[in-house]
Chains A and B, each alone.
Chain A
Amino acid sequence: MLATSPKFKENASAAMADAGLQQALARTKPRFIQKRANAAAGLPEFERLREIGRDIKNHTIAHLDFYLETFERNVIANGGQVHWAATAEDARKIVLDICRKANARTVTKGKSMISEEIGINDFLARHGITPIETDLGEYILQLRKEPPSHIIGPAFHLNREDWEKSFREGHTQLDPDRKFNERRDLLTEARTVLRERFMAADVGITGANFLVAETGTSVIVTNEGNGDLTQTIPRVHIALASIEKCVPTLEDATSLLRLLARSATGQDFSVYTTFSSGCRRAGDPDGPEEYHVVLLDNGRSNMIGGDFQDMLRCIRCAACMNHCPVYMTVGGHAYGWVYPGPMGSVLTPTLIGVDQAGHLPNASTFCGRCESVCPMKIPLPRMMRHWRERQFERHLTPAAARYGLGFWAWFAKRPGMYRLATRVAMGTLGWLGRKKGRFAWLPLASGWTAGRDMPAPEGGTFMARYARQARRG
C-alpha cells in the first residue's frame, strides 16, 4: 500500500469536507465509547485485568525468542508448519509459494491487518490468484477497491447507502428491484455470494489475535463466523501473524480475550472465538489438510529494548482510535497507511519510516484519552513524543517550528531577559487590545487566527505586578 501519510494535512482537510464520512463518524463515535464504558463498568476486575494483561505481554516480549520457538515446536508437533518472515516481501513470497504448491486459484481471507501491512491481496492477484475477503466490511471495501479505515471496523467510514451502492455495482447479477432496506438485507446478499466462495476456495488465509506457545494454537475472534469458514473449509489454512501476537499459555490468551472484546466493541466476548491447532487429524470431521503459520517480524524485533517496545503489547482492539478526538474528526484514511489513530501514529513510523509518517505522531493533542482506555496500558502519547524527539534530532521538525522554539527557549532559559521581553510584549499587546479584548489577526499567528480570535492579554505581566506590589509592601 502506497502511503499517503506525508499528505496528512491535505487528507485531513478533504476528510473534514466529506459529508458522508462526517456523518459516519458522528453516528459511530458515541456508540463505541458508551459500549466500552458499559463493558468496563460491568466487570469489577476490569482495571486489575488491564494490569494483568500488561504484565502478560511484558513478560512475553521479554522472552519472545523462547516463546516463539516453543510455539514453533508445538505447531510442528501438531502437524503444522511455521514460516519465519523477516520482511513483508518475505511474507508475500512464503504465502504465494504455499498457494502455488496447493495449485490455488482462489483464496478466501478472514480479516487480517497483517495482510494489509504486507499488501497480500494485490500481490496474489498479480500472480493469478484471486483473493476474496470474507469479513463483510472488508468484502465491501474489496468491491470498492478501498483500504480499511479502522482496524476492527474496516468500513467504519461508510454509510448504509454506500454499502447498497457497492453491492449494486459489484454484484452485476443483482435484480435491480431488490430492496436493501435493512442491515439484514445487506448481510443476506453477502452471505449468498460468499457461501459459494467459501466452498470453492483452495486456501484460506486468516490473521491471528493470539498465538499460544504452549499449545501451538492460533486464535481468531470474529462476529460473523467468516473466519471459521475461511480456516476450516479449504484444504490449506495459512495464519498470518506478527511475532508479538504470541502469549505463553491458554490461560494468558483467555485473560487477554476478556479485555479484547470489551475494549473493542463493548461485547463481553466476540461472537466467535476460534482456536486452531494444526490440521485435520484422523477421525476429525473437518479441518484443513495443511496448517501454516507465517510469523512476520517486519521491524518489530528492532523495537525490543528501545523506546517503542511497549507498543508490542498492542492487541489491536482499536479503543485508542475510538476515543481519539483527532481520529474522530478526520477518520482513518487521513492517516495514510494501514494503521490509523494513536496506535498507528506510534507504529506507522517504525514500519514506513518517520520521514514518511512524521505528521502522525505530531497530529495529537496529547490529551491522553487513548492511554486511559488502552487495555494494555500502552503509553501512546509518550511514544508519539519519542517520535517527535527523533524528528528533532534528525532536523525533520519544520524549520519555522524549530526556530520559534529556539527563540522562545533562549528567553525561557534567561529569567531576567524573559521578564523584560514578556513585560514589553504583553504591555504592548494588552494596550492594543484593551478595547475589544481580542485580536482577529496578529502577525505570525495565522495558524491561530484563521479560525479563532486571539484574546488580548490583561496588560503587564503577573511577575511585574507582583514585584511592584511586593516593593510597595
Chain B
Amino acid sequence: MAPETPRVALFVTCLVDMFRPTVGFAAIRLLEQAGCRVEVPMGQTCCGQPAFNSGDRATAADLARNVIAAFENYDYIVAPSGSCAGQMHAHYAELLADDPNWAGRAAAMAAKTHELVSFLTDVMGMQAVTARHAGSVTYHDSCSGLREMGVKAQPRKLLASVAGLSLTEMEDSEVCCGFGGTFCVKYPEISVRMVSDKMANITATGAETLLAGDMGCLLNMAGRLKRQGSGVHVRHVAEVLAGMTGEVPAIGEGKA
C-alpha cells in the first residue's frame, strides 16, 4: 500500500544531470503536484547501464550496489528515463542474483522503481496536468521505456491534458532511433542511417516539437535534426508536462 504522501527518491540520470538539469526540476515539480515528497539522494552517479551493456559486469554490479544503498529506503524510486529505470527495474536483480547479500535487496528495489510519467499515472493516479503548451507535438517511444517499463499510453494521456497541445503520431514511433547507448559511437554510420529514417518520420508529421522520455534518444534525434537544419524543436516530455518550456531553450538550440 502506498502511503498517502510517499517519499520518492529521484534518480536524476547522468544525462539529465549533465545535459539537461531542467528535466530534473520538471520531474520534481510533477512528482510534487502528484502528491509526493521528493528527495534527491546525493550519493547517486550512474545506474551502471553503460558498463552492463559493454560486458563489464563487475563495474555494473559495483554501481548497482551504490544505487541500491542510496535508494532502497524510499517508498519509490523514480527516474525521468525508461532506460535507467529499466536498468534498475529489469536488470539489477539479474545482475546481483549470485550475490547473496544483495540479490534480495536488488529485487526489492526493482519492484518499486518506476519511469517518471508512468509512475505519475499508474501509481499516483494523475489524470491531468496544469501545463499549457500551444503547438503541435509528436512523441517517440523510447525502446527501454516501451518494452521494459510498459510506457506507451501514459505520456499520451497526460499530454492530452496539456492546454493548447495537439499530438500527431509519427509513423513507426516504436522503432529505435539508433541511439542504443554506445552503439551510436561504435557503429555511427548505421546509427546515423537509423536516426535519419526516424527524422523523416518526425518531419512527415509536420509537428513543431518532438518529445520523448529519454535524454539519450533526445540528444541523438536533436543532433541529427539540427545537423540537417531542421526547425523541429526537441524536448523531454517532462518539460512540457511541468510547464517549464519557457525556462530553457529546446535541446540543441542556443539562447536567442
Interface residues of A (CB under 8 A from B): 9, 12-13, 16, 325-326, 329-330, 362-369, 371-372, 382, 385, 387-393, 397, 401, 405, 408-409, 411-413, 415, 418, 422, 425-426, 433-438, 440, 445, 447-448, 450-458, 460-463, 465-467
Contact = CB atoms under 8 A, between A and B. Distances in A.
A450 to B, nearest CB: 6
Contacts of B19: 426, 455, 457-458
Nearest to A438: B252
B219 A461 contact: no
Nearest to A437: B254
A367 to B, nearest CB: 4
Contacts of B220: 452
B18 interface: yes
A291 B81 CA distance: 57
Nearest to A414: B45
B63 A447 contact: no
Interface string B209-247: 000000000011011101100000000000000000000
Given A412-B48, A435-B255, A453 B63 contact: no
B249 A447 contact: no
A447 B186 contact: yes
A433 B222 CA distance: 15
In this complex, the member of B17, B40, B46, B186 whose beta carbon has the largest number of chain A beta carbons within 10 angstroms is: B17
B251 interface: yes
Contact of A463 (B17, B187, B197, B222): B17
A455 B144 contact: no
B181 to A, nearest CB: 7
Nearest to A330: B190
B54 interface: yes
Contacts, number: 215
Given A415-B43, A467-B42, A452 B223 contact: yes
B227 A412 contact: no
Interface string B50-89: 1111111101001100100000000000000000000000
B223 A363 contact: no
Interface string B162-185: 000000000000111011111111
Given A12-B190, A462-B24, A367 B176 contact: yes
A451 B198 CA distance: 14
A9 B187 contact: yes
Contact of A466 (B40, B43, B181, B182): B40
Interface of B: 12, 14, 16-25, 40, 42-46, 48, 50-57, 59, 62-63, 66, 94, 143-144, 147-148, 174-176, 178-197, 219-220, 222-224, 226-227, 248-249, 251-255
Nearest to B48: A412
A234 B8 CA distance: 71
B17 A422 contact: yes
B52 to A, nearest CB: 7
B219 A455 contact: yes
21 contacts: A326-B190, A362-B186, A364-B180, A364-B183, A368-B148, A369-B174, A412-B46, A418-B45, A422-B14, A422-B18, A425-B18, A434-B254, A437-B253, A438-B222, A447-B184, A447-B186, A450-B188, A452-B224, A452-B227, A461-B18, A462-B23
Nearest to B174: A369
B55 A389 contact: yes
Given A325-B175, A456-B254, 10 more contacts: A329-B193, A405-B59, A409-B63, A418-B45, A422-B17, A438-B254, A452-B226, A455-B252, A462-B17, A467-B42
Contacts of B223: 438, 448, 452-455
Contacts of B197: 325, 329
Contacts of A382: 94
Contacts of B179: 365
A457 B18 contact: yes
Contact of A458 (B20, B55, B185): B20
B192 A452 contact: yes
A372 B147 contact: yes
B55 A390 contact: yes
A455 B251 contact: yes
Nearest to B60: A409
A463 B255 contact: no
Nearest to B59: A409
B55 A392 contact: yes
B174 to A, nearest CB: 8
